[in-house]
Structures are given as structure tokens and as C-alpha cells.
Chain A
Amino acid sequence: GAGVSQSPSNKVTEKGKDVELRCDPISGHTALYWYRQRLGQGLEFLIYFQGNSAPDKSGLPSDRFSAERTGESVSTLTIQRTQQEDSAVYLCASSLGGGFENTIYFGEGSWLTVV
């Protein structure tokens, strides 16, 4: 596609339910990132995928959070047993590769509200 696509764009879920957020990166981009942004706050790194290398999961806040990526395409971020503190926009981004100079392109985010 033309840009990074995320779905759903908005999700309201009850506390304790599991949610899945999907990211379709730009075709050909081997690097994929997930960030979380709480209202009025900065971007918080969650996880990074680069090609077939082991992902950098150092930003995942708890074991309720996990992410998968199929090859160099779609990624899914899963939050189990959601809590109100998980309410945020979850941003996915991709870039051509792991080089420093590759521009990172962001999607519009998935807005998650836990009630």
C-alpha cells in the first residue's frame, strides 16, 4: 500500500478482555516498530522487528503484551487481560531497513480505550 495501515482505528474494550491490533507496513520495508502514546505523552517504544532477526522486545511493559510478525509483512500486537492503564494510541511504523538513515513512516494509530 501507499503507507502504513493500522486496524482497527478505534477500539473500545472492557477491562479484562484481550485485544489484537494489526499493522500492515509499507511493502518492502523490513523494519517494523510499535510505539504507545498515552494522551498528552511522548512515544513509548514497545518492540522492533528487523528482517529475520530476533525482535527487540525490551519496551514491552508486561507479559500481557506480545507481538508477532509474519516474515516481512503484517504484524499483530496483542494485549491480554486489558487494564484501564492500557488506554492509549498504539502507533506502528516501518522503514526500509535497519540502517540509521532510513526514514521511518508511521501509521495513523489504533486508539484503544479500556472501560
Chain B
Amino acid sequence: SQKIEQNSEALNIQEGKTATLTCNYTNYSPAYLQWYRQDPGRGPVFLLLIRENEKEKRKERLKVTFDTTLKQSLFHITASQPADSATYLCALISGGYQKVTFGIGTKLQVIP
């Protein structure tokens, strides 16, 4: 069956360091992969989209990679700040329309 795996354990990181979150998937052939941020009690907010034929995408301090051979995406936040503390969700989009399936998310805590 199709599965999206994100590290369900929280990731604690020192302010200023680079945070790296992992999203692995099985039995999918996604055309696109997205990353979202979710704060407690709020709806998810879209951050970045990467296509299957793109290896890397950047936006300010964020970088996403997409390896369709390894079936993995990495999400990096450079120069992390306490305000980056949140849960980060990866989402896969496949099929003939935009059906979006989410991973469980990884909680990031940036320690001052």
C-alpha cells in the first residue's frame, strides 16, 4: 500500500544551525511533492513545491530536494530561528488530478 513516512519524533536543534527533515515514500509515483508548515491549533500553510524532474528548489532559507530513485525528499532550514519551531508536513500529489496525501509531520523545535 502507499505510504509516506516522516520522522514522528521531534527534532531539536540549536538556533543558527541547519535543520534537515526527511520524507520517504513507498508505492507512489508522485508528480509533485509539497512541504507545509503547521503551527499548533492552525491549518497547514504551503511552503514549497518541487516537481519530479527537479532535484532541488530553494526559497529564502528553505531548500528542498527530491530524489525519485531513493523515493525521498529532504527539507532544510538554514540559519534556523526559534520562530521556525512548528510541525512540517510533506505531501505527495499524483494521479490525474490534485489529490494530495500528507505525511504525519515532523515537529521541529529550535532552541535559542
Q: Interface residues, chain A, CB within 8 Å of chain B?
A: 4, 31, 33, 35, 41-43, 45, 48, 50, 56, 91, 93, 95, 97-109
Contact = CB atoms under 8 A, between A and B. Distances in A.
B87 to A, nearest CB: 10
Given A100-B31, A100-B93, A101-B32, A45 B100 contact: yes
Contacts of B101: 45
A41 B105 CA distance: 8
A48 B43 contact: no
Interface string B74-104: 0000000000000001000100011111111
B46 A108 contact: no
Given A33-B100, A98-B98, A101-B32, A106 B89 contact: no
Contacts of B49: 101, 103
Given A42-B104, A42-B105, A100 B45 contact: no
A95 B98 CA distance: 9
13 contacts: A4-B43, A42-B102, A42-B103, A45-B102, A50-B97, A100-B93, A100-B98, A101-B49, A102-B98, A104-B98, A106-B45, A107-B43, A108-B43
Contact of A99 (B34, B98, B104): B98
B51 to A, nearest CB: 8
B16 interface: no
A102 B32 CA distance: 11
B59 interface: no
A104 B46 contact: yes
Given A42-B104, A98-B98, A106 B93 contact: no
Contacts of B105: 42
A104 B97 contact: no
Contacts of A109: 42-43
Given A42-B102, A45-B100, A101-B49, A93 B43 contact: yes
Contacts of B102: 35, 42-43, 45
Residue from B34, B43, B101 having most chain A Cβ neighbours under 10 A:
B43
Given A48-B99, A100-B31, A42 B89 contact: yes
Contacts of B103: 42
